[in-house]
Amino acid sequence: MEFRETSDQELIHLYISGNEAGLTELIRRYQSKIYTSIYLLVKDEYLAEDIFQDTFIKVINTLKAGKYNEEGKFLPWVARIAHNLVIDHFRREKRTPLVSNGEDFDIFDVLGHYDESTEDRMIREQTYTDLKKLIHLLPSEQKEVLIMRHYGDLSFKQIADITDVSINTALGRMRYALNNLRRMMLSKELLLKN
């Protein structure tokens, strides 16, 4: 069965009416974004898989109970569930989540690469490595918004909903993140010149 043109809402109705393929397609559509956002927060592959499964168990239970009412907002709703489960995990562990750019994550992976020389490639890779290190130095709230926006491709409204802050706070955190990155990059350049 082909679902490419089917809306999330239609897939939810298919699943609620007993067609498992509706849920399968929803998971296929969003598994990469949801799993990645979990992994970036917990930095552990197995833990991320567990939380991902728990997220969709919660989604299934909510859908089956008829309690889903987020018209047209399936992805932000699932992302909020995942985010809350991550926070619950860290509360149980009694430590604060640290959003990090792990070795497997590159904020620029989403950008296409042009034909480049070996020297250009080496410069690009070093720049990305440096940027990842700088992002890691940002306060966790700023890292979280930066990663959700640029990698997760979430809107500021979605980020605000997921992190339970106002849109202005999410925008402010992004602005601070970018300003801090810019300042760190400038100071690094000055150090290299001296």
DSSP 84-130: HHHHHHHHHHTS-------TT--TTTTS------HHHHHHHHHHHHH
* pLDDT reading at 1 higher than 70: no
Neighbouring C-beta atoms of residue 192, cutoff 10 Å? 7
Q: Which has more pLDDT, 20 or 91? A: 20
| Global confidence as pTM | 0.54
Looking at residue 121, its pLDDT comes to: 67
* pLDDT reading at 2 higher than 80: no
pLDDT band at 55 (very low <50, low <70, confident <90, very high): very high
DSSP 65-81: TT----TT-HHHHHHHH
Candidates 150, 147, 137, 144; CA nearest to 181 is: 137
In terms of average pLDDT, the best of 10-24, 70-84, 178-192 is: 10-24
